[in-house]
């Protein structure tokens, strides 16, 4: 069975500082993708970043980077220079290439303090 | 470009009533999904479809039914609503490519009383 674990229900970070949101996953498949989504208080789901299981370099998208450690089965999201607008729920998700089903973690609520 | 459109956005049902959540996408995506999100929780997959005429169960399919008669539409049917089905429902679609992320609708908040 596939499983995504986010062990930090809530986190605080000071504005302009960097923050790491943890995500570990469990799968026996070799081919998969890892995604991070942001859910603001308004409720919509916003795609942030993608990492493929065969990608050798960590993915980056602007202030977002994904710290991918395949042997440890972790895919942590790093947000640099936090902004007040980063306050939201963040979800880690995994998709198995063979099945194209997406599995989500329980989320981390990030609060950016001014 | 509307993306993924869900209706209704809000609905209150009485126990035992039935209803259909509508979902349509205009991106010509083959893959479509229904998720539910309980308060403070992640998303659980209810049903998904890899193309017109093909549907399959996800993690929490009990109490729901789906159909996929066209590429664009993927309605979710709730039969005999129960309080346990109170949740926010998200419809999503994807290209099915490896790097293809999910495109989400805005969500439908359903309350069963």
A30-67 residue pLDDT tens: 889 999 999 999 999 999 999 999 998 999 999 999 99
DSSP of A51-112: EETT--SPPEETTEEEEEETTTTEEEEEE-S--GGG-EEEEEEEEETTT--EEE---EEEEE
Q: Nearest-CA distance from A44 to chain B in Å?
A: 5
d(CA A91, CA A2): 15
Mean pLDDT (chain B, rounded): 93
What are the pLDDT digits (tens) for B28-49? Answer: 999 999 999 998 888 999 999 9
Cβ partners under 8 Å of residue A13, min gap 6: A19, A79, A82, A110, A111, A112, A113
What is the band of B67 on the pLDDT scale with cuts at 50, 70, 90?
Answer: very high
Q: Which residues of B touch A (CB under 8 A)?
A: 31, 33, 35, 40-45, 48, 50, 58, 88, 90, 92, 94, 96, 98-99, 101-104, 106-107
Q: What is the structure's pLDDT at A99?
A: 66
Going by pLDDT thresholds of 50, 70 and 90, the confidence category of residue B110 is very high
Round to whole Å and give the CA distance between A44 and A47: 10
**Does B81 have pLDDT greater than 70?**
yes
| pLDDT above 80 for B1 | no
What percent of chain B is predicted at pLDDT more than 70?
Answer: 99
> Does A41 touch chain B if contact means CB atoms closer than 8 Å?
no
- A contacts of B44 (beta carbons < 8 Å): 104
pLDDT, average across residues B19-35: 96
A86-110 confidence digits (pLDDT tens): 999 999 999 987 667 889 999 999 9
Q: List the single best residue of B2, B38, B42 to mutate versus A (max A Cβ within 10 A).
A: B42
**Does the pLDDT at position B78 exceed 90?**
yes
Residue of B nearest to A89 (CA): B40
How far away is chain A from the Cα of B36, in angstroms, using its nearest Cα? Answer: 11
Nearest to B101 among A50, A104, A107 (CB): A50
Q: How many CB pairs under 8 A join A and B?
A: 55
> Which residues does chain B have within 8 Å of residue A90's beta carbon, measured at their own beta carbons?
none
pLDDT of B53 above 80: yes
């Amino acid at each position: 069975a596939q499983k995504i674990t986010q062990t930090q229900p809530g986190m605080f970070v000071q504005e302009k500082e960097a923050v790491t949101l943890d995500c570990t996953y469990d799968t026996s498949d070799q081919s998969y993708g890892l995604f991070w989504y942001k859910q603001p208080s308004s409720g919509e789901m916003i795609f942030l970043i993608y990492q493929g299981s065969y990608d050798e370099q960590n993915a980056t998208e602007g202030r977002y980077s994904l710290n991918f450690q395949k042997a440890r089965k972790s895919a942590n999201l790093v947000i640099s220079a936090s902004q007040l607008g980063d306050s939201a729920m963040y979800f880690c998700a995994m998709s198995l290439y063979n099945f194209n089903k997406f599995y989500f973690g329980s989320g981390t609520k990030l609060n950016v303090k001014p | 470009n509307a993306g993924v459109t869900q209706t209704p956005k809000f609905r209150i049902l009485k126990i035992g009533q039935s209803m259909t959540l509508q979902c349509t996408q205009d991106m010509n995506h083959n893959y479509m999904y229904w998720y539910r999100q309980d308060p403070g929780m992640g998303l659980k997959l209810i049903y998904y479809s890899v193309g017109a005429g093909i549907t399959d169960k996800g993690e929490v399919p009990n109490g729901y039914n789906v159909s996929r008669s066209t590429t664009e539409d993927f309605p979710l049917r709730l039969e005999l609503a129960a309080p346990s089905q109170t949740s926010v429902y998200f419809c999503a679609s994807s290209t099915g490519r490896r790097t293809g992320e999910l495109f989400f609708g805005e969500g439908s908040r359903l309350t069963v009383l």
